[in-house]
Structure formats: C-alpha cells, structure tokens
Structure 1
Amino acid sequence: MTAETVAEVTRVLVVDDHEVLATSLAHVLDAEPDLISVGVAGSLERARSLILTTAPDVILLDHRLPDGDGADAIGELLALRPTAQIVMLTASAADHVLVKALEKGASGFVSKTRSLAELTSAVRAAAAGEAVISPELLARLLPRLHRSGRPRATDLTEREREVLGLLSGGLSNAAIAAELTVSVHTVRNHIANLSAKLGAHSKLEALSIAVRDGLLPDI
C-alpha cells in the first residue's frame, strides 16, 4: 500500500458497549478498501484514550454507554479531536436526544437497523463533510433546537446565508452547487467559512447554531 493510498483511507473508531455489534462493524469497515477500523471502545473512558492514540477521522458513537451519555460527551470528544466527524449510532433514540447531539456537534445519525452498505455509505459521507441525516428527520429536528432569544450579530455574507438556507432543506453539497450554479469545491469553501465564523465542527452544528441565534428566522 502506497503512502498516497494510506492517506485516502478513512480511519473509524467504533464506540459501542455491545461487543458483538461493535466488533462486527469493525470487521465490515476493515473489509472496505477505503475504510479502516482503528479501534473499538465499549465506554467513553476507552474512547477518550483511543481518540488520542488513533486519531480517527470518523467516530461512530452509541448513545447509551456504561459510563455516560454519548450525546452529552460529543463536545468533549471533539475537543480531543476537532477534525473528527461524529456520527451517532441510534436505535430508538428520542428526538430530544437527537437534538442534543446536533447542538453538541454531531455530523449525523445512522440507525443500527440499517444495512451494512448504508452504514459504510454514512461513514464515507461524514468523512466527506456531508450531513448524515435524511431531509425528513432534519425538518423534524430543526424547529426543536433551542433558541437564544436574541438575534446574533454575525459577519456572514449573503451567499453564506443562502448556503445555510439550502442546508436547512437537507441538500447535499452537490445539490447546493447545482442550485447556485457553482462548483462543489466553492460550496465546501462557503460551508467551511460559515462554520468557522459560527464556531461549528460540522454542517449540522452550523445549522443548529444558526437556528439558535436567529440566523434562520423561517425555522
């Protein structure tokens, strides 16, 4: 395997206390040419240690763990690895848990009942900076995000606000590029810029901050 090939491999950490499921997911990831499991953690304590030693690109994170709530821990885990994308593994999580995960910086959700192909697709999407969430679920959760009560002063450009609005509709980067008649690279730059201005780790966190601070008044 060349250095170039290694650089293209997405490193994934699985955090789930169901050992059989977590190990199975790791094996599935390792069977993909562009994905690799860098570890399996059955607790948040173990996850913190592995994040520091394995530098994952994507973290698949369960909600219920023996030493804490996965959604509550998202901010702490991102502090250890700011460039990581965190995708919550869900089964029957209530909307308030999903809302909390969005506000903490999750890049999306994937159900444990989905096929293995859908799971690997979700990992690839997260690694590419896409939001891993259906438009229907996004539309349900955005109105439930907490509001600050006063509009935030921001230096977002009109185009960045336009991109935010399109993101709120669940559009992918490619769909936004087609809508605005620009390149996907340009869209990614807009998202990176607006995320930096809002202090967000992911597109979904940028959306949650925008809703909270009144930058998307129609939601």
Structure 2
Amino acid sequence: MLRTRIKICGITRAEDAKAVVESGADAIGLVFYPPSPRGVTATQAIDIVAAVPAFVTVTALFVNPSVEEVQSVLDSVRIDLIQFHGDEDDDFCRQFKRPYIKALRVRQASDVVASCLRFPGALAILLDSYKPGVPGGTGETFDWTLVPENPPKPLILAGGLEPGNVAEAISVVKPYAVDISGGVEAAKGIKDHGKIADFVKEVNRVDEHYRF
C-alpha cells in the first residue's frame, strides 16, 4: 500500500517552508489569490521557494485566474504543480503545460465521480468542504462518508483537518494524500511549526496502523 502523501498549504514565510521540509511533508502550497489571508505575491513566493529543496513539490493555488496571471507566476517562480480552486474547466487547466489538480467542494457523493470524469487531465481531485461563496480554506470538515470507494482518480482530502482528526479521516476516506492549512496555524498565514510536526507524525502513525 502507498503511504498517505502530505501537503501543507498557505505558506507565506520561508521559515514556515523550512519547517514543512524538516517535518518530512511532501509538498507546500502557495496561494496566489489576493482575497485570501494566506495569499502571496510572486516576489514573496520566490523567497519562500528558495527554502524548498528538490523532491518537495511546490504547488501554486489559483481561483478563477486569467491566463496572464497564471503565466506570470510560472515565468518567475519555480512551480511544480498547479491547483485550481475555481470554476476552471479541463481545457483551461491543461493549457499551462504543468501537472495540475482540481479542487471540488463536496456536496453529494455523485459530485466526486462526476468531477473526476470532467477533468481527465487532472492528476488528482482535491476534496474540500462546501461553503457558499468561499472557494476553500473554510477550516470545516464535510461528511467523509460521501467519498466513494475506488474513485476514478486519486483523491486528496482537505477541509478542517488537524492532528486530532486526521486519523479518523484517513481511516474513513483512505485518500491518496491529505492537505492542511488552518489546522497547523498559530494565526492565519502563520504556521505553528510544532503543529506541522505533530500532523505529519500522526499521518505516518495512522499509515502504519491502517495501511500496512
């Protein structure tokens, strides 16, 4: 069985990126969405990414961006993976010649399979909580039993995760990866390095129990 991959999203400082790397997590997320309290500019992102070594994936998150906005980031920042959180379609997401994942705000079980089929180019589908008018980062969980077994694509579980509930989340959903932001923060956009370490340790502990 594969181990559960881990992404820590909403990184705004180089020191937090270093803490993610030291924890053993697989990826960081940079939010290129100005309304978000975790949003960063390309200039900020360059400094953050300088702290990230090879084999840790740098993910750029966008919400309904223009082509120019995405391309500007790709031209100036080392980006390994793009995460789309808005109403983008598969054709839009594919055009940047980068691997991408697509976020889905879950309302019903059929949404998950349908989204997998609508985005054949996506490497995975990220499942987040649905909240009207909020594209993500709600800090709230959703009903994990809505996630179907044997989905058409790998699933990344997000939405309200924290060290105290990730064990249950993995046991119910058995996702390919988990994605956390607010659950490891001291304040919005400022990560708590101890919580990051605790989260990664808990995921690894759960993997040993449920996966092997």
Identify the TM-score tier after normalising by the shorter chain.
0.3 to 0.5
- The structure with the largest strand share of the pair is 2
Q: TM-score, normalised by structure 2?
A: 0.35
Q: TM-score, normalised by structure 1?
A: 0.34
- The structure with the largest helix share of the pair is 1
